[in-house]
Amino acid sequence: MKTQHTAQVLHRKGDWSGPADMCLLDYTERFLRRKKLTTKDGLSFLVDLPQTMSLDHGDALELDDGRYVEIAAAEEALLRITGPDMVRLAWHVGNRHTPCQISSDHLLIQDDPVIGHMLEHLGARVQKVHAPFTPEGGAYGHGRTHSHEHVATAHDHGHSHSHGHSHSHSHSHDHDHDHGDAPHEH
């Protein structure tokens, strides 16, 4: 009878070392709590984390027998964004809460024809590519920025806030933040 291995411990990139098998997951697949996965070498195991978490490229899951499985970003369909005003383009991507990987000369986002078309209308050059996707984490470190799903490790609190713009635009939404030692205002 085959023994099913379980991973209940996540080690963040830089907090683990040693030999490891590798598991390729795309951006969506790296957001999980309980799921059966298979490594590149064919080892099947069950991930059973205490809460839903965003796994990052370079993190490792520790199996119940002490072995590590390194998480690697798999190639997926993306849009490579370039243009004359990258700061403005990045602002429009962020304003739509779209996960974004930022490089010095381009942005990478998931292949979304609506966002791609909008960026083309703003003067961007949009090119379809297949590459690993490792977007920026939330303002407080690890976590997802879309749909306001933030992974918190210190203390959490729900609240509503208004973004202090000089015009009448404001919106409220619930957030969970890892504030750590950083000061914050609301």
In order along its 186 residues, the chain shows pLDDT tens digits of 456 899 999 999 999 998 999 999 999 999 999 999 999 999 999 999 999 999 999 999 999 999 999 999 999 999 999 999 999 999 999 999 999 999 999 999 999 999 999 999 999 999 999 999 999 876 545 555 444 333 333 333 444 444 444 333 434 444 444 444 444 443
Boundaries of every domain in the chain: 5-73, 76-132
Kindly give the interhelix angle for 113-121 and 86-95, rounded to the nearest 10 degrees: 140
First to last CA, the chain: 57
Report the C-alpha gap between 7 and 164 in whole angstroms. Answer: 43
Residue that the structure tokens 């064919």 belong to: 42
pTM of the prediction?
0.71
Q: Would you identify the CATH topology of the domain 76-132?
A: Alpha-Beta Plaits (3.30.70)
Please compute, for residue 146, the number of CA atoms within 13 A of its CA located in the half-sphere on the CB side. 13
Q: Which CATH superfamily is domain 5-73 in?
A: Urease metallochaperone UreE, N-terminal domain (2.60.260.20)
CB 126 within 8 A of CB 106: no
Name 181's Cβ contacts closer than 8 Å, sequence gap at least 6. none
